[in-house]
Amino acid sequence: MTPQPTHETHEQPHVLYVRFHPAGGTAGTAPDTPGRGAGRGPGPGPGPGRRGPGRPGPVLGADTYEGLLALLAEVTPVVEAVPPDAALADVAGALRYFDRDAAGLAEIVRVRALARYGVDCTVGVAANPLLARMAAHDAGAVRTVPDDPDAVAAFLADKPPTALPGVGQATARTLCSYGLDSAARIAAVPLPTLRRILGPATARRVHDWSRGIDPVPVTPNAPARSIAAEHRFGHDELDPERRCRALLTLADRLGSRLRTSGQVARALTLTVRYADRSTTTRSRTLAEPTAHTPALIATAYALHAALGLQRARVRSIALRAEGLAAAELASHQLTFDPADDKARRIEAAVDRARARFGERAVRPAGGFDIW
C-alpha cells in the first residue's frame, strides 16, 4: 500500500497574507467596511497613471469583503481581517485536511474569490505574518518564502527599510543616515548600537523585523465597523499641497457620510502608499467621538504632518473613520466659541443642500472634484 503524504506543519510556511483587489480603481468610499487599527496596512496598488484623479474606480465593498472573509473561513477558522482589502490566515491546521501545502491552499482561495466575487488576489505565504505580507507585496499571484534561515535572509537582503511593515519614512531616513539602507545591513548591526539610534523599543522591533522575526500570531477577529475613503493620484505625487487637498476632500466626504448615517467616529487612520509599494499607516484617537468635518480635517492634517514626508513619491492616500457609534449616544463638549457654533450651522446647511441637490452641490473650495 502506498503511504499517504504527510505534512510536518512546523517545518513549512503556514501563514497566508491575502490582498484582494478588483481590477482598476482610483478613488472610492467603502461604507461600513470593517476596520482594525494601524498594525496591518493595505498592500500594493495598481501602477501609476492608470486613471486621472477625478475618475473614481471600483472599490471593495463591505458585503464583498465580508464574503471574502467567509470564503477564507471555509479553509481555516484562524482568519484575521486586515481592512479594507486584506486578511491573514493561519492554515497550519488545514494542510493535512486538504492534503495540500500552503501555496496550494492559496491557489484554492484565488480561484474561489475570482469565481464567486470576480475579485483577484495576491497571496504571500510564509512562516509568520511579517514575511507573508512582504511576500504578497512582491507576488504576481502567489509567492512563498521558505521557512529556512538562508532563504529568509536572501528574501530580505535587498529590501529597503520602508519595506518592513511598521517602518515609516522618518525612521527610514534615520536608518539611512547611518548607512543602514537595507534589511541585511540593519540585521548586521548589533542591537545595542541600534538602540542608540532608534531607542530601545523601536530598535528591538526593527531588529527583529530585519531578520524576519514576527512573534505576533494570526488572531481571529470580528472586524469593527468603519468607513473608508481613498484617493489615488494620476502619477506619483511629490507635492505636499496636493496631498493636503486630497486629505481635505476625503475628510469632507467621511464627515458627510457619517452625518448622513447618524454615526460618529472615535478615531481616524491615515494610510499612505508609496511608489515602491510600501505603506505607512498611522492612527489617532479623536478628542471626542465626532462627525464634525473640521475636526476630521484637522486630525488628518496632523497625521500627515507627523509623517514628515520629504520628496516622498506618494501613490495614494486613504482615510478611515473607525470606532463608529450612534451619534445620539455621543456627547459634545460645549464651548463659548461662536466660530464653532457657526461652523456647525454651516455644516448642517451643507448637508441639507447635498440631500436635496446631490453630493456635488457643495464641495470644499480647495479639494478635488472626485465625488
Provide the b/e sequence for 176-200 (b: ≥16 CB within 10 Å). eeeebebbbbbbebeeeebeebbee
pLDDT at site 224: 55
pLDDT at site 222: 59
| CA-only gyration radius of the chain, Å | 22
Phi/psi for 104 (5° steps) reads: -65, -40
DSSP annotation of 353: H
pTM (whole model) above 0.75: no
pLDDT at site 23: 55
pLDDT at site 329: 75
299 closest CA partner among 269, 327, 261:
269
DSSP annotation of 148: -
* Single-letter residue type at 308: G
pLDDT at site 358: 76
| Torsional class of 181: left (φ above 0), alpha (ψ -120 to 50), beta (otherwise) | alpha
CA dihedral of residues 110, 114, 116, 117 (deg, nearest 10): 110
Q: In a 3-state reduction of DSSP, which class is residue 272? A: strand
Tens place of pLDDT per residue across the chain (371 aa): 444 444 443 458 899 999 998 754 433 333 333 333 334 443 333 333 333 333 334 456 777 888 999 999 999 999 998 877 889 999 999 999 999 999 999 999 999 999 999 999 999 999 999 999 999 987 678 999 998 889 999 999 999 998 888 787 888 899 999 999 999 999 999 999 999 999 988 899 999 999 999 988 998 875 556 788 889 898 899 999 999 999 999 999 999 989 988 889 989 999 999 988 788 889 898 888 999 999 999 999 999 999 888 888 999 999 999 888 888 877 777 777 788 778 888 888 888 888 887 777 777 776 676 54
Mention every residue, 6+ apart, whose C-beta is less than 8 A from residue 185: 179
